[in-house]
Amino acid sequence: MKHEGRAANLANSRIPKMQSNSSIDELIACKPIRYTCELVVVRKSRMRVYLKTICLPVLVMLLLTGSIRAEAQTDLNETAAAISRTIDEIFQPSHQRFVEATRQLLESAEISCRDRSAQAVSRLRADYESLISAFARIELYRMGPMTEQLRQNRLFYWPDKRRVGERQLRELLSSASSATLTEAALIEKSVALQGIPALERLLYSKNATENLVDVQTSNCHVATIITQNLHSMATAMNEGWTDESGLVSSMRDPTGDSRTFRNHQEVLQRLATLIVVGVDVVLDKKIQPLVGDNVSVKNAPLWLSEQTVTMITENHHGIRSLLIDSGLATDTGLEDELQFEFRTVDSILEKLASLPSLTDEHTQLTRQTLSLTKALSAVVGGIQSTLNDRFVQRLGISAGFNSEDGD
Amino acid sequence: MERSVLSRRSLLKAAIYSLCAPDTISFAGSTVAGTRQTEDPNHVSATPSGRLYISGARQSSEEYAAVVFDEHGTILSSVPLSARAHGAACHHQTNRACLFARRPGLYMNTFDLRAPQTHHSIAPMKGRHYYGHGAFSSTGDLLFATENDYEAARGVIGLYDATRGYQRIGETSTAGVGPHEVVRVPGSSLLVLANGGIQTHPDSGRDKLNIDSMHPSLSIIDSRDGTLVGQHFLSDDLHQVSLRHLACTGDGEVWFAGQYEGTDPTTDGLAGFISIEQSIDSFQRGVSRKGLTLIDLPAGLQMQSLRYLSSVAVAGNQVIYTAAKGGLAFSINRKTRQLKESVSLFDASGVAALPYTNLSANAEKRVPDGSTLITTGTGEIVRLGYNGATRVATHRLQWDNHLYALF
């Protein structure tokens, strides 16, 4: 029942300048209150009454207050530790990995444009696949640097049901200015042109290799500029997560006058929302389009580069890190249950990854693929229910609701 | 006169409050357990206090409700709903209220605030679905609901007779596609509609079918005969700003909130207002956009909002916007048309202010501090006043997009 006490304590933390009681943070910070019982000369019976009606309850209250305060302090320390662990062991290394992946990809793109060989293009594709793995790990960490400067859309404009990116890329490549495109010019253009989907099309669409090695086309140059843009965004995001004076400081030591986080509960709420919304995104947008009759692989993310399973797997690992490695699941008493469900997801994803292809020769999903995506949907649906109905409740919070799917 | 109004208000509040006297609340034979349980650490009111508010909410992954609470955030009643709700319409004099399902909405839930247990769920007529918003006529006898004639891809206002069990008695065109919010101009029979411009069809769920060619508009319609008396379209470069939410002032302005659907990272045009008088005049003379004013929001704020404004409310000379995706709320000074203040508020969406009828021309000085409440998807109720944002209460539920003041 530890989590319930913690939930109550967290629920009681509040924004300073509020109209009533002090927050737990403030209570802990303040000095213990000293109670004194003045000795007075009274008759024995009155003394007994006095002891029974006043001193004893005060003593009991003192003991309880001390106990509650100690527990609140412990819980707060645990929450602060979990938040710091999330920053140090999850956000920072994963963003560092993303920077490295974009750096490597940029190097390969530059080599590819210089060498103009099929071998260099193969190397570029291999580095692109590493980039997908690194990006998918952080894709659902939609807070702080990811939400600034429209980076979420600029990195990965998807789903693009209207094929805006495809159309705009075709127009760009057919224009004379594409050969002299700069990163500064790119960031003024459509978000659908600035990130991974456009790069995927340049690397994997029909005749991609021929176009990339052909010096007469601007495909390789545009791919390099997009890669530069990816690297710039990755670098800025990594700086956001390593700068101890900004977001990170506010998460570790939230204060009442902060515009970001005013107390630990708000940080916890944001992390829980990343987890809950992250599972919603993976299930509703990435897995469900691959379940049912008459589904098309083209509804899946990164189907052209056949990185769909990699992306879902890394999304899943990113969520698991946030939920389990951070210690949040342990605090809610749901770790064993969630671990079991996540292992089941792992197992299904491994089977999907081991398939030679998700589709047959007619680009239809195979029966085996459909069977596995259906199972995946059921298990992730179970995780979704656990998170929505019990995880957030045991943390004593409500996760965000409107930020992902408004109207 | 004032005394009788106060007396009526008190009686209504008592009627609503009486429904939640026990710890379980009964409505139409069903019970909602624990809806009185509040996580508000600061205030647990024994009696309803001050103004009352209504909002849709999600209580667990599959449980939705219409919730009434007082200005201290104490939940007074909770009516279970069959699916996620969106906006509401309220008529103060007749005690009529209606909550609309989120698009593609398949119910509107009407109830008498004096006896909410008699609430009724009304399905849309064949070939129509609700769009999530509506408004009452000045007498409260008619209800206007925004609807989709989805086979013809045109917006309509469904007309319902509230005195005869909300029987549908007709409809009129909104002169646009994808109507979203409708408001009635105070003291008149004029309706202002935000035609979001986005075509949807129930067969495609919530998919947006015409983003490339969308053409949003604001229509002014005389509800007595359905005549279009004014209409504004944004300029072509802003055709992907979906105009969605509205708020009336007491002196003939209607402010709007937009959501950008395109890929250009520099587009603005999210916020502004129309003058009813000038708009009708310009429409009669065939002049486009005279009477429509766009607010030049700071570029940083637009970026931070992710160019998605969730709701808008008017409180005296302040116009308050929420931006759930960007996690902020901000206010515009109506006189200077400049940004006055912005606060970081995760998942902020619902916003309600004192009804225009209570405001005078010199309202800013007379509106009491804390006249605006904001609800968040994380269960928070926040008061926005001249002293900044103050948390009023936090509940273990998720407030839906919109919030309305009842009395």
> Is the separation of the CB atoms in B180 and B132 below 8 Å?
yes
**What is the structure's pLDDT at B115?**
79
Chain A residues within an 8 Å CB radius of B346: 266, 269-270, 273, 400, 403
Q: For residue B220, give how far its alpha carbon lies from the nearest alpha carbon of chain A (Å).
A: 22
What whole-number distance in Å separates Cα of residue A141 and Cα of residue A134? Answer: 12
**CB distance from A388 to chain B under 8 Å?**
yes
pLDDT band of A28, cuts 50, 70, 90: very low
Predicted model pTM = 0.81
Query: Which residues face A364 on adjacent strands?
Result: A296
Pairing of strands B63-70, B75-81: antiparallel
What whole-number distance in Å separates Cα of residue A398 and Cα of residue A384? Answer: 14
Chain A residues within an 8 Å CB radius of B237: none
Q: Does residue A167 have a pLDDT over 50?
A: yes
Q: For residue B282, give how far its alpha carbon lies from the nearest alpha carbon of chain A (Å).
A: 30
**What is the structure's pLDDT at B51?**
81
What whole-number distance in Å separates Cα of residue A117 and Cα of residue A45? Answer: 102
Lowest mean pLDDT segment, chosen from A69-73, A212-216, A258-262: A69-73
Using CB atoms, pick whichever of B377, B389, B394 lies closest to residue A401: B377
> Is the separation of the CB atoms in B255 and B272 below 8 Å?
yes
**What is the structure's pLDDT at B171?**
97
User: Hey, are the CB atoms on B41 and A21 less than 8 Å from each other?
Assistant: yes
Q: Any residues with CB less than 8 A from the CB of B2 and at least 6 apart, and which?
A: none
> Is the separation of the CB atoms in B142 and B89 below 8 Å?
no
- A152 to chain B: closest CA residue: B306
Please tell me whether residue B242 adopts helix, strand or coil conformation.
Answer: strand
A residues 169-198 lying closer than 8 A (beta carbon) to B: 187-193
Q: Cβ–Cβ contacts within 10 Å for residue A13, how many?
A: 24
> Is the separation of the CB atoms in B119 and B104 below 8 Å?
no
Using CB atoms, pick whichever of B61, B266, B325 lies closest to residue A385: B61
**What is the structure's pLDDT at A24?**
27
Using CB atoms, pick whichever of B86, B264, B325 lies closest to residue A190: B264
User: Hey, are the CB atoms on A398 and B326 less than 8 Å from each other?
Assistant: no
Per-residue pLDDT tens digits for A381-399: 999 999 988 998 898 888 8
Q: Please give the residue that has the higher pLDDT: either A217 or A399.
A: A217
**What is the structure's pLDDT at A8?**
38
Using CB atoms, pick whichever of A154, A157, A403 lies closest to residue B347: A403
What whole-number distance in Å separates Cα of residue A302 and Cα of residue A324? Answer: 27
* Tokens 């409260």, residue located: B140
Dihedral pair phi/psi, residue B16, rounded to 5°: -65, -40
**CB distance from A153 to chain B under 8 Å?**
yes
User: Hey, are the CB atoms on A188 and B326 less than 8 Å from each other?
Assistant: no
**What is the structure's pLDDT at A57?**
60
Q: For residue A266, give how far its alpha carbon lies from the nearest alpha carbon of chain B (Å).
A: 9
**Cis peptide before B179, with omega less than 30 degrees from 0?**
no
Q: CB-hemisphere CA count at 13 Å for A219? A: 23
Using CB atoms, pick whichever of B61, B207, B399 lies closest to residue A389: B61
Per-residue pLDDT tens digits for A93-130: 999 999 999 999 999 999 999 999 999 999 999 999 99
* CA A103 and chain centroid, separation: 22
**What is the structure's pLDDT at B287?**
83
Average pLDDT over residues A153-165: 93
Q: Does residue A37 have a pLDDT over 90?
A: no
Q: Does residue A13 have a pLDDT over 70?
A: no
Per-residue pLDDT tens digits for A299-356: 999 999 999 999 999 999 999 999 999 999 988 999 999 999 999 999 999 999 999 9
> Is the separation of the CB atoms in B76 and B52 below 8 Å?
yes
CATH of domain B2-405: 2.130.10.10
DSSP string, B19-83: TTSSSEEEETTEEEETTT----SS---SS--SSEEEEEEEEETTEEEEEEEETT--EEEEEEESS
pLDDT band of A58, cuts 50, 70, 90: low
**CB distance from B396 to chain A under 8 Å?**
yes
Q: In what order do the strands lie in the sheet with B167-173?
A: B128-136, B142-149, B154-161, B167-173
Query: Which residues face B379 on adjacent strands?
Result: none
- B258 to chain A: closest CA residue: A407
Using CB atoms, pick whichever of A152, A188, A402 lies closest to residue B349: A402
**What is the structure's pLDDT at A402?**
77
**What is the structure's pLDDT at B324?**
95
Written as one letter, the residue type at A358 is: L
Q: Is A42 exposed, middle or buried (0-12, 13-18, 19+ CB in 10 A)?
A: exposed
Q: For residue A18, give how far its alpha carbon lies from the nearest alpha carbon of chain B (Å).
A: 6
B residues 229-288 lying closer than 8 A (beta carbon) to A: 244, 259, 263-266
b (16+ CB within 10 A) / e for B330-366: bbbebeeeebeebbbbbbbbbbbbbbbeebeeebbee
Q: Is A288 exposed, middle or buried (0-12, 13-18, 19+ CB in 10 A)?
A: middle
From first to last of its 407 residues, chain B has per-residue pLDDT tens of 334 434 455 545 554 543 333 222 222 222 222 222 333 322 333 355 678 899 999 998 789 999 999 989 999 989 899 999 999 999 989 999 999 999 898 999 998 888 776 789 999 999 999 999 999 999 999 999 999 999 999 999 999 999 999 999 999 999 999 999 999 999 999 999 999 999 999 888 878 889 989 999 999 999 999 999 999 999 999 999 999 999 999 899 999 999 999 999 888 879 999 999 999 999 999 987 789 999 999 998 998 899 999 999 998 889 999 999 999 999 999 999 999 989 989 999 999 986 544 444 444 444 444 479 999 999 999 988 766 788 899 998 999 999 999 87
